[in-house]
């Protein structure tokens, strides 16, 4: 009897354009199996024949795919054995609309094999800055159309030489069907040019670029998804020059290093942080900076953390090898503008910033800024989901109608979803200027075409003045659904974890328009996708001057103190108010008393700003979250005490009253208690108030899972302390692959809008 059997294996996930089929081919060759593998509309299909034991081992091996691949499902069917020998990579099956949605993978960091090749003096790709293979290189950033093949990328104008063609057609070669394949003989070339466009060096541009950086110059470097601005991260003069030219006062810069050993020299790393730094996505990772790191303090002023990223393109590796120092590698733009990715645009928009340009002639089609993450509660949490992750879909537990969710005003991303696939677009930024809004509209149109989704539903924030809302309302689709900001935050975590609800959602951020027309941001909700109920909130703070109070944080502090001390706080004893003219204090108090341009805000972020301003004697915030971040960093790690708080339970919603905390913290500061201790007690008080309120609410509404979301949960101390306070009594779910801040909001908008539309 013939012992041969057959298996048909259906694989879905990120399995196209990442070397999955050649890897399957090699597995089958090693196991002595016959059959075929091909792409189809749902992912990859494998039909394989051989001895049962060999087949079982083969199927088991499929569970450990190449680093860039992501297997979401693997279904195995027994089929009749077929005659024939050998295993082949067959032509793709019909794609259909579903096939559009699996065809473009994310950009992938340079693999070890390619890195060894560019460092090998005998290799034909020695020092070739655009080396790549199926395991690494540009993908999304060079795609023009679908399906993802060379003819539909910016590589179409570079015909392959005979050697590259041979590699491309050989299933045993790691460049089999690597669409960006190139070499010095046939591919794009690297140049170093000056501000006038004159070529400074075309033979080995990394060496003279490194010399310029050592001299304190600023070099614009064309990366994978856009331009970076690079300078010597150990030189205060160079970093200050970059800050002045880029018009970026104090917001931290990211620092790029060559490898993990270089990262270890700058920061204290644990195994999970090393793994995140070295992952194929290569995000910027926020880690604790060593005191003796040698980095210029101006890289991240008054900040014990540093955002590190490892080199992720051959160009970066070559530049860092020559520079022999860590480099600031920040987005190529003026502050608050979108990242520059077009070559001509880079020459004009970066003309006042860069001294030279390190460029190549492979066009970037889709801008994609660096992703940012951090370890929180021992697991990676993305603060910005962009290069390396986009356009990889987020898998949903239940199918949704075709829709577009337009996101928030700040840290904008959008979301396109259909069926069980949800695609968060690349990080756009704050939609505060025409350039960023144009980049947003372009990115929406491009991703919509790539994934083949024609939205029937448009979701947007409640706030009528958000540019994303205006964009949504101007679209032609008839069905428009407004989604409350904090409901969307909670729904994003539900979607990420496959929860249906209801849950107790703790949504803490700076602000978001509430359904009652006021500014929310310190909310505890009972929520599923279709509904939410506001169970509790923080006592509001008056914003004297509206948004001006968010920048001039002393105004928040004054409003908080006057409320807590019934208009008689010890201002004269606080260092903060020695910095403010008496006339400005009097005017601000009058505005509050007469309710002139003084909206009320419930945001937890406003408490961080207000109390942080008092404790740090800081009058203003130079960028969003700066004071809250500094107040978090100031906290004494070992302090366990907390202040008093009250809970008003007579109305709906309940109100968490932190005025007792404000009074006690203020008197501690007046009595010269260390700000580090006061900060720790502030954090502990917010945790105790939140955890206590959650427990009482669950007594009334049932013991539901608890989720955390909102920008405040980028604060590791707050998140980890609240998690410890509620676990294991409650099942607690945190954001991870979806940012807790506004960068993840669109996913929640999408799921809420779908649920609401189903109830129409």
pLDDT at site 658: 98
Cβ–Cβ under 8 Å, residues 717 and 632: yes
pLDDT at site 18: 80
Question: Does residue 528 belong to any structural domain of this protein?
Answer: no
Q: How confident is the model at residue 632 (pLDDT cuts 50, 70, 90)?
A: very high
C-alpha pair distances (Å), 212 with each of 128, 323, 712 = 21, 9, 40
pLDDT at site 42: 73
Q: Give the range of the structural domain holding residue 11, as residue numbers without chain letter.
A: 5-94
pLDDT tens-digit series, residues 390-430: 999 999 999 999 999 999 999 999 999 999 999 999 999 99
CA distance 157 to 187: 9
Pick from 69, 94, 119: which residue ends a domain? 94
pLDDT tens-digit series, residues 511-561: 999 999 999 999 999 999 999 999 999 999 999 999 999 999 999 999 999
Same domain, 195 and 298: yes
CA distance 563 to 659: 8
Same domain, 85 and 138: no
Provide mean pLDDT across the span 655-683: 98
Question: Does residue 661 belong to any structural domain of this protein?
Answer: yes
CATH of residue 72: 3.30.70.100
Please tell me the total number of residues recorded for the chain in this structure. Answer: 760
Same domain, 28 and 141: no
C-alpha pair distances (Å), 180 with each of 362, 368, 630 = 10, 17, 43
Same domain, 378 and 389: no
pLDDT tens-digit series, residues 332-387: 988 778 999 999 899 889 999 999 999 999 999 999 999 999 999 999 999 999 99
Q: What percentage of the chain carries pLDDT values higher than 90?
A: 83
Provide mean pLDDT across the span 102-129: 92
- In this structure, of 174-178, 414-418, 491-495, the range with the lowest mean pLDDT score is 174-178
Same domain, 751 and 658: no
CB atoms within 10 A of CB 220: 24
Same domain, 37 and 163: no
Same domain, 215 and 320: yes
CA distance 384 to 382: 5
Same domain, 355 and 391: no
Same domain, 213 and 327: yes
Pick from 77, 94, 111: which residue ends a domain? 94
* Burial label, 203 (beta-carbon count in 10 A; 0-12, 13-18, 19+): exposed
Same domain, 378 and 388: no
CATH of residue 436: 3.30.420.360
Mean pLDDT, the chain, whole residue set: 93
Pick from 94, 112, 129: which residue ends a domain? 94
Total domains, the chain:
4
Q: How confident is the model at residue 212 (pLDDT cuts 50, 70, 90)?
A: very high
Same domain, 276 and 154: yes
pLDDT tens-digit series, residues 291-339: 999 999 999 999 999 999 999 999 999 999 999 999 999 999 887 789 9
Provide mean pLDDT across the span 261-284: 97
Question: Does residue 345 belong to any structural domain of this protein?
Answer: yes
> For the chain, what is the total number of helices (H) and then of strands (E)?
23, 30
Cβ–Cβ under 8 Å, residues 606 and 557: no
pLDDT at site 66: 82
CA distance 563 to 543: 12
Would the pLDDT of 86 be above 70? yes
CATH of residue 675: 3.30.420.40
Same domain, 306 and 190: yes
Provide mean pLDDT across the span 730-739: 96
CA distance 744 to 738: 5
pLDDT at site 575: 96
CA distance 424 to 431: 17
Would the pLDDT of 40 be above 60? yes
Q: Is the CA virtual torsion 582, 583, 587, 590 positive or negative?
A: positive
């Amino acid at each position: 009897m013939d012992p041969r059997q057959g298996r048909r294996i259906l694989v879905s996930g990120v399995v196209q354009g990442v070397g999955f089929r050649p890897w399957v081919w090699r597995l089958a060759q090693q196991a002595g199996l016959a059959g075929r593998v091909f792409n189809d509309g749902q992912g990859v299909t494998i039909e394989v024949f051989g001895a049962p034991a060999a087949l079982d081992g083969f199927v088991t091996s499929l569970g450990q795919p190449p680093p860039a691949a992501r297997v979401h499902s693997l279904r195995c069917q027994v089929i009749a054995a077929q005659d024939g020998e050998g295993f082949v990579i067959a032509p793709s099956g019909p794609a259909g609309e579903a096939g559009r949605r699996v065809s473009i993978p994310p950009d992938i960091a340079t693999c070890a094999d390619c890195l060894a090749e560019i460092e090998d003096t005998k290799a034909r790709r020695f020092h070739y800055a655009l080396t790549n293979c199926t395991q690494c290189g540009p993908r999304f950033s060079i795609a023009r159309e679908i399906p993802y093949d060379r003819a539909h990328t910016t590589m179409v104008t570079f015909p392959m030489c005979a050697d590259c063609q041979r590699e491309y057609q050989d299933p045993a070669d790691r460049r089999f069907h690597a669409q960006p394949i190139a070499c010095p003989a046939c591919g794009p070339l690297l140049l170093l040019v000056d501000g006038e466009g004159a070529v400074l060096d075309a033979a080995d541009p990394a060496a003279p670029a490194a010399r310029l950086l050592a001299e304190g110059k600023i070099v614009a470097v064309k990366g994978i998804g856009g331009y970076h601005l690079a300078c010597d991260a150990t030189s205060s003069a160079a970093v200050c020059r970059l800050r002045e030219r880029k018009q970026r006062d104090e917001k931290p810069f990211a620092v790029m290093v060559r490898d993990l050993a270089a990262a270890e020299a700058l920061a204290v790393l644990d195994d999970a942080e090393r793994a995140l730094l070295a992952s194929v996505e290569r995000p910027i990772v926020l880690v604790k900076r060593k005191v003796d790191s040698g980095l210029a303090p101006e890289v991240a002023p008054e900040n014990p953390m540093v955002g590190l990223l490892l080199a992720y393109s051959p160009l970066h590796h070559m530049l860092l090898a020559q520079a022999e120092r860590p480099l600031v590698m920040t987005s190529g733009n003026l502050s608050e503008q979108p990242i520059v990715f077009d070559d001509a645009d880079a020459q004009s928009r970066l003309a006042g910033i860069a001294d030279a340009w390190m460029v190549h002639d492979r066009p970037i089609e889709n801008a994609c800024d660096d992703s940012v993450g951090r370890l929180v509660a021992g697991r990676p949490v993305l603060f910005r989901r962009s290069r390396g992750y986009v356009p990889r879909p987020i898998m949903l537990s239940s199918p949704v109608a075709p829709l577009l969710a337009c996101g928030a005003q700040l840290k904008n991303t959008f979301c396109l979803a259909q069926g069980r696939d949800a695609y968060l677009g690349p990080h756009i930024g704050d939609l505060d200027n025409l350039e960023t809004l144009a980049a947003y509209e372009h990115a929406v149109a491009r991703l919509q075409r790539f994934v083949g989704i024609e939205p029937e539903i448009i979701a947007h924030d409640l706030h009528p003045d958000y540019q994303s809302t205006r964009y949504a309302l101007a679209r032609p689709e008839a069905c428009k659904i407004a989604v409350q900001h904090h409901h969307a935050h909670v729904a994003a975590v539900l979607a990420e974890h496959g929860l249906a609800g209801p849950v107790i959602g703790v949504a803490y951020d700076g602000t978001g328009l509430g359904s009652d027309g006021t500014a929310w941001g310190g909310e505890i909700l009972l929520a599923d996708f279709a509904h939410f109920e506001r169970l509790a909130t923080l006592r509001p703070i008056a914003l004297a001057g509206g948004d001006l109070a968010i920048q001039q944080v002393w105004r928040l502090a004054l409003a908080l103190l006057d409320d807590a001390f019934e208009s008689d706080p010890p201002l004269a004893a606080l260092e903060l108010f020695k910095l403010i003219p008496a006339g400005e204090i009097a005017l601000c108090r009058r505005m509050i008393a007469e309710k002139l341009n003084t909206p009320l805000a419930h945001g937890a972020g406003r408490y961080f700003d207000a109390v942080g301003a008092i404790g740090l004697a800081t009058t203003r915030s130079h960028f969003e979250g700066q004071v809250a971040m500094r107040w978090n960093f100031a906290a004494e790690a070992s302090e366990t005490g907390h202040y008093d708080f009250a809970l008003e339970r007579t109305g709906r919603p309940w109100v968490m009253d932190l005025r007792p905390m404000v009074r006690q913290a203020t008197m501690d500061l007046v009595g010269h208690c260390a700000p580090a201790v006061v900060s720790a007690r502030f954090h502990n008080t917010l945790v105790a108030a939140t955890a206590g309120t959650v427990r009482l609410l669950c007594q009334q509404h049932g013991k539901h899972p608890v989720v955390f979301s909102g920008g405040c949960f980028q604060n590791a101390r707050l998140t980890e302390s609240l998690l410890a306070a509620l676990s294991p009594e409650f099942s607690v779910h945190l954001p991870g692959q979806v940012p807790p801040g506004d960068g993840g909001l669109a996913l929640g908008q999408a799921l809420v809008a779908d649920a609401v539309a189903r109830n129409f």
